[in-house]
Amino acid sequence: MEEKSRIQKILAASGVASRRKAEELLSQGRVTVNGRVAHVGDSAIPDKDRLAVDGQPVVTGGKKIYLALHKPRGFVTTLHDERGRRCVAQLVEDVGERVYPVGRLDKDSEGLLLLTNDGEFANRVAHPKRHVAKTYRVTVRPSVTEEQLNQISTGIVIEGRRTAPAKVRVLQQELGRVVLEIVLYEGRNREIRKMCQAFGIGSGQAQTHCRGTGSSGHAAPGQVQRADERGTAGTDRGSEERGEVV
């Protein structure tokens, strides 16, 4: 007997969306299996049952694609934005396959962003329990104290919950400006910005006082590099992703 899988798992593995987004599609009644509307918790047989999203057939078992994008500032990490802002999807239109981001960088941040149609890989990398390290180079103004650095490394309370311990070191220090390298092991939204706000660095405006200063490897902003799962396997094991915070 052919083994069934949860529909959200099939959609994620086919590069349609992440598992969480796939569950949203199911809740909205936008997914059908063999012509019938599917629901969260339903299962199907990959490569046998006919799945569709918004009437468009889902192709299963296709080639897996892994992309490393140097996301420039000014782009939101999504495939479509209701407010009409520029999306990272516009930077990978020439790929010819539907891919979606693994994790996110803020609109005003730049750095490495992985995109793929491999839902299982994306789930392994993005799941909070995996504690994949993400390295950020951040400029704080006007300065930062040794006590604040220690607090970052041990964890601080943000919105009623303590952050996970992080690694932090000073890369460069000059009058009115300090460049830090911060390695995070959790995926909380806008975590570094909120750390800056919690410390009252500068005027407390995180977008002004946490400014990215570096680049993602040797790629220019907007440049896309292809890889394979072996090339991104280090990320799966917990090696560092580079990102820039603005």
The reply to whether 106 belongs to the active site is yes
Q: Kindly report the backbone phi and psi dihedral angles of residue 227, in degrees, each rounded to the nearest multiple of 5, phi listed first.
A: -145, -175
How far apart (Å, rounded) are the C-alpha atoms in residues 97 and 47? 18
Alpha carbon distance 240, 221 (integer Å): 19
Separation between Cα atoms, residue 237 and residue 131, nearest integer Å: 9
State whether the Cα torsion 231-232-235-236 is positive or negative.
negative
Find the catalytic residue in 106, 108, 228, 236: 106
Element (H or E) spanning 162, and its range?
Answer: strand 161-162
Q: Which residue is it, tokens 């299982």?
A: 120
Count CA atoms closer than 13 A to 88's CA, side-chain side. 32
Nearest CA-CA partner of 115 in 132, 102, 96, 133: 102
Distances (CA, A) of 141 to 134, 207, 209, 210, 222: 22, 11, 5, 8, 27
Q: What is the DSSP string of 72-115?
A: PTT-BSSS--TT---BGGGGGGGGSS--EEES---TT-EEEEEE
**Phi and psi dihedrals of 36, rounded to 5?**
-110, 145
What is the set of active-site residues?
A: 106
